[in-house]
């Protein structure tokens, strides 16, 4: 049942990439139902909980990409709840912390889509805290720091869209500082140097000089 649930999620991803919208929706609903049944049969099994959280997370991502915002909210809230239970079950499980980071990042984006910005900011802080903890546990490796920087840039975007410009710039400036340090040490890919770093510099340059409102539209 667990394998079937995973295969259904992958099939749903294939349908989504092929822009077969209804087929993707129905298949991902089946994937979630399958993983929920597996988890209910063994509610304390962390591997089953993780598969369930991932199925819910991916369904939310697909709903969001198709502007089904309320459906995305319902799915990602359930994913976040499962991820938080994983972390509560074993606070030292880095995989559980990573699942919290992945799920809450999408949750923050969905809340921003729904103009629930104060909630989005609060959830965004949980995302950043999880990435900081993962970086600490990894000994501040380049990969962990890059993930933290990416989360900071996303949090900054959510904050900017809610007109919290100072909050946005604080996140963007910290994220850019990490990217710049990685670039100096030669730890960035070519795409990161030409796309990610350039975009981050542009956000800070255009939006973060006083009065910190310079991009002119939602991002």
Tens-digit pLDDT string for the chain (219 aa):
989 999 999 999 999 999 999 999 999 999 999 999 999 999 989 999 999 999 999 999 999 999 999 999 999 999 999 999 999 999 999 999 999 999 999 999 999 999 999 999 999 999 999 999 999 999 999 999 999 999 999 999 999 999 899 999 999 999 999 999 999 999 999 999 999 999 999 999 988 876 555 565 666
Interatomic CA distance for residues 212 and 217, integer angstroms: 13
Percent of the chain with pLDDT over 90: 90
| Pair 128, 97: CB distance under 8 Å | no
- Do 55 and 37 touch, CB atoms closer than 8 A? no
Q: Which residues contact 216 (CB under 8 A, 6 or more apart)?
A: none
pLDDT per residue as tens digits for the range 131-170: 999 999 999 999 999 999 999 999 999 999 998 999 999 9
DSSP 8-state secondary structure symbol assigned to residue 139: T
Residue whose tokens read 């912390």: 97
- For 45, other C-beta atoms within 10 Å of its C-beta total 14
Radius of gyration of the chain from Cα atoms?
18
Phi and psi at residue 68, to the nearest 5°: -95, 75
Q: Which residues, including other chains, have CB under 8 Å from residue 167's CB and lie 6 or more apart?
A: 121, 156, 159
| CA 80 – CA 43 distance, rounded (Å) | 16
- For residue 52, say if its preceding peptide bond is cis, omega within 30 degrees of 0: no
Distance of alpha carbon 61 from alpha carbon 72, whole angstroms: 7
């Amino acid at each position: 049942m667990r394998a079937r649930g995973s295969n259904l999620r992958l099939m749903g991803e294939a349908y989504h990439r092929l822009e077969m919208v209804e087929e993707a929706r129905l298949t991902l609903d089946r994937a979630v139902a399958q993983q929920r049944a597996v988890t209910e049969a063994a509610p304390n099994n962390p591997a089953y909980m993780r598969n369930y959280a991932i199925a819910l997370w991916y369904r939310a991502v697909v709903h969001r990409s198709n502007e089904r915002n309320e459906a995305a909210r319902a799915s990602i809230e359930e994913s976040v709840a499962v991820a938080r239970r994983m972390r509560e079950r074993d606070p030292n499980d880095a995989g559980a912390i990573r699942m919290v980071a992945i799920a809450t990042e999408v949750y923050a984006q969905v809340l921003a889509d729904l103009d629930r910005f104060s909630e989005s900011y609060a959830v965004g802080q949980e995302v950043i805290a999880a990435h900081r903890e993962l970086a600490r546990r990894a000994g501040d490796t380049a990969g962990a720091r890059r993930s933290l920087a990416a989360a900071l840039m996303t949090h900054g975007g959510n904050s900017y869209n809610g007109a919290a410009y100072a909050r946005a710039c604080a996140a963007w400036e910290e994220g850019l500082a990490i990217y710049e340090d990685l670039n100096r040490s030669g730890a960035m890919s070519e795409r990161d140097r030409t796309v990610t770093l350039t975009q981050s510099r542009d956000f800070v340059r255009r939006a973060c000089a006083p009065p910190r409102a310079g991009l002119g539209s939602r991002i």
